[in-house]
Structure 1
Amino acid sequence: MKTLIIFKAGSTFADLAQAQGDFEDWIADGVGNALPVSVVDARKAAALPAFDETAGAIVTGSHAMVTDRAAWSERLAGWLREAHWRGIPLLGICYGHQLLADALGGEVDYRSQGMEIGSVPIDKTAEADNDPLFASLPRHFMANVVHSQSVRRLPPDAALLANNAFEPHQAFRVGSSSWGVQFHPEFDDDAMRCYVDRLADDLTAKGVDVAAKWREVVPTAEAASLLQRFGHLVATHNDA
């Protein structure tokens, strides 16, 4: 049976990982048991998975930056580009969202407005009403975010699925089976508050009310539901 690959592109803070697991664990929990899941650390793997053994792939977030052009990241971008053209379902999260956009002809760079962090409102576009992952979401929903870089320009022919007042490209789809989401569907309240705490000094220096950010963290069940739907979509795609 083919496997859903979770490409590990980075790690969370060590103490948070010890208490709650790491990015790949949260994603695997969210995806559920629709099909087997395998984790591949893209930074360390000697070789990336064979396409004919891959049911779909998810790329995690990372504390790295796409514009650093690390060798492992560029290699993964090439793999994603080929997987997209083969029609393998793909989901990029935060760093993964940016890397997928870059791989498919978009542009990534630092946000001119600075970091976006916390539980924030997301607006679904009309284009998302017929999208397999986004159609069942409400027009407005909450999601957890933490990013300093963004997709500044979408890939050619990409469908914009979500945005908000601070980030014009919160989610996109290219073709019928490649998605990127800037927000973190895998983050729970504790993870989000941990990031606010850890980045408090930088945020305070930029005039952000850290205490208010911390209090504004809320449950984000609608955003989290994307992971299970993606798992079912991959399973259905491979049964067809």
Structure 2
Amino acid sequence: MVQNDPTDDVRRLGDWLIEGGLELDVLRPYAGATVPDSLDGYAALVVMGGEQNAYPGPDGQPGAPWFPELERLLRKAVRGRVPTLGVCLGGQLLATAHAGTVERSPSGPEIGARLVARRDVAEADPLFGAVPFAPDVLQWHQDEITELPAGAVLLAASTHYAHQAFRLGDAAWGVQFHIECDIEMIAAWASGNLDVLADLGQDPIELLESCDAVMDDVEEVWRPFAKRFAALALTGPTAIGSRHLPVIGA
């Protein structure tokens, strides 16, 4: 797994992947870890979120120094049919690595407990086929995927943010929302973004209460989702046979 930011670790998602039979090899490039050149010996790739932008800054520099290497690894994963999951920023990087577009959303930040709507085409998807029509998710982002990569399949959407989940090829998925968070993680994000919440007119206590109220529902849907991903990693298209899962991200 790649962890892009110390504030967004694998948390509950990591526990669920381990329950599914995977061992996690968590890489932390922000702390000096090197993004590998290949996925040889790995069963899957998971890229987590972070506060960085998936697109270059005004000076043309990437959102983080390791993003070009990470995007190359994501392209190799898709070409090699290595099961891949990108969460929030990780999903955005999966899109930009394949010529999709990510921009600052004109709708403003999307924060808190929300619903997304599964598309009909998701019925046939190996991960999303068993997801309810309108599952609970946790959101915390201000950028959005405005254009999916060519050939990507849109799996879930919402009213203001059209691209909430997608599949690229037959073994790579990106989700805009967070499935890894526990309430402590949300509380830490809230305490570090009180000005953002004030601008949105969101009371931090009410935000935490609303997120806490859906934690069990989030687990009910996304825990088995994570375990389906783990099963795919162990038996899926690449048949690598390794039980180690690299996690790239925050």
TM normalised by structure 1 equals: 0.87
Residues 35, 209 of structure 1: CA spacing in aligned structure 2 closer, same or farther, 3 A cutoff?
A: closer
CA contact (8 A) 2:11 2:182 kept: no
Partner of 1:41: 28
CA contact (8 A) 1:186 1:224 kept: no
CA contact (8 A) 2:35 2:66 kept: no
Please report how far the alpha carbon of residue 125 of structure 1 lies from its aligned counterpart in structure 2 after TM superposition.
0.6
CA distance in 2, matches of 1:206, 1:36: 40
Partner of 2:3: 8
1:177 paired with 2:171, answer: yes
Residues 140, 47 of structure 1: CA spacing in aligned structure 2 closer, same or farther, 3 A cutoff?
A: closer
* Structure 1: gaps of 5 or more residues: 1-5, 13-21
% same residue: 30
Please report how far the alpha carbon of residue 168 of structure 1 lies from its aligned counterpart in structure 2 after TM superposition.
0.7
CA distance in 1, matches of 2:16, 2:95: 23
CA contact (8 A) 1:158 1:172 kept: yes
State the AA in 2 paired with 1:9: N
Moved over 4 A (4+): none
CA contact (8 A) 2:13 2:223 kept: no
TM normalised by structure 2 equals: 0.83
CA distance in 2, matches of 1:214, 1:232: 33
Residues 239, 103 of structure 1: CA spacing in aligned structure 2 closer, same or farther, 3 A cutoff?
A: closer
CA RMSD of aligned residues (A): 1.9
- What secondary structure is seen at the aligned counterpart in 2 of 1:76? helix
Q: Equivalences for 1:197-236 in 2 at 5 Å?
A: 197-217=191-211, 218-219=214-215, 220-221=218-219, 222-236=221-235
CA contact (8 A) 2:18 2:24 kept: no
Please report how far the alpha carbon of residue 50 of structure 1 lies from its aligned counterpart in structure 2 after TM superposition.
3.2
CA contact (8 A) 1:42 1:76 kept: no
Partner of 2:39: 51
Please report how far the alpha carbon of residue 104 of structure 1 lies from its aligned counterpart in structure 2 after TM superposition.
1.2
Q: Equivalences for 1:37-116 in 2 at 5 Å?
A: 37-43=24-30, 44-48=32-36, 50-68=38-56, 69=62, 70-116=64-110
CA distance in 1, matches of 2:105, 2:197: 15
- What secondary structure is seen at the aligned counterpart in 1 of 2:129? coil
Residues 56, 239 of structure 1: CA spacing in aligned structure 2 closer, same or farther, 3 A cutoff?
A: closer
Deviates more, 1:94-103 or 1:50-59: 50-59
- Which of these residues, 182, 185, 191, is aligned with residue 188 of structure 1? 182
- What secondary structure is seen at the aligned counterpart in 1 of 2:43? strand
Partner of 1:157: 151
State the AA in 2 paired with 1:64: Q
Residues 213, 87 of structure 1: CA spacing in aligned structure 2 closer, same or farther, 3 A cutoff?
A: same
